[in-house]
Amino acid sequence: MRLFHVSEESNIEFFEPRIPTRTDLDQTKGLVWAINEECLPNFLTPRNCPRVCYHVGPNTSEADKRTYFSSKSCSYVVAIEHTWFEVMQNTTLYLYEFNTSEFALLDENAGYFISDKKQIPNNKIKIDNLFTALFKRNIELRLVDNLWDLHAEIQMTTLNWSMCRMGFAQKMELGD
C-alpha cells in the first residue's frame, strides 16, 4: 500500500499534526492526513476545485455500473464543473509519499489514513498535467455545468463516492 498527501506547495519538508476541522473528530488531537493510492484520483485536481468522485466498490450493482460509467473498461469517475477546466490545466500538484507504518485507517471508502505523529515524506512526485495523470490511471473525467444534481443522485447509488470542496461549487438557480 502507498499513502500520499497531495499539495500545490512544492517545498514541504515535514507535516506537523494539525487539529482537524471536522467536528466528528477529536478536536484536542492533531493529525496528519494521507490518502491511499486507490482513492488518489479524488485529489488530482486543484485544491479548491469542487468535485464528485465515484468508483465501483464490492457492493456496486450492475445497474449502477451501466448507468454511471461510459464504458466497461472504466470503473472510476471524477466530475468537475467546466469552469474549473482552465485552472486544472494550469495547476501543478505534488504528491508527498509517506512510510505507512505510523498511519491508521480512518475511512476505507474515502481512502483516508491518519497519523498523530510528525511525518517526513520519503518521496515527492511532481504532476504537471493533471488530465494526463487521471487518464493514465484510467479515470473518466467529466466536465459538467453544475455538480449539485450528480451530488444528490450519486449518494443514492451502490457506488463508492466522495464529494470534495462542494462549498466552492456553483450555486443552483432558484427553481432548479
- Residues 49-82: pLDDT tens digits? 999 999 999 999 999 999 999 999 999 999 999 9
pLDDT of residue 29: 95
pLDDT of residue 78: 98
In a domain, residue 41? The reply is: yes
Q: How many domains does the chain have?
A: 1
DSSP secondary-structure letter at 103? -
Burial degree of 95 (CB within 10 A; 0-12, 13-18, 19+): buried
In a domain, residue 173? The reply is: no
Decide if 76 contacts 85 (C-beta within 8 A).
Answer: no
Residue 176 scores a pLDDT above 80: no
Q: Which amino acid is at 32?
A: V
In a domain, residue 43? The reply is: yes
In a domain, residue 14? The reply is: yes
pLDDT of residue 173: 63
Range of 86's domain? 3-168
In a domain, residue 32? The reply is: yes
Q: Decide: helix, strand or coil at residue 17.
A: coil
pLDDT of residue 109: 85
Of 74, 119, 78, nearest to 101 by C-alpha is: 119
In a domain, residue 174? The reply is: no
In a domain, residue 141? The reply is: yes
In a domain, residue 13? The reply is: yes
Q: What is the pLDDT of residues 100-151, one digit of tens each?
A: 999 999 998 889 999 999 999 999 999 999 999 999 999 999 999 999 999 9
* Contacting residues for 83 by C-beta, under 8 A, at least 6 apart: 170
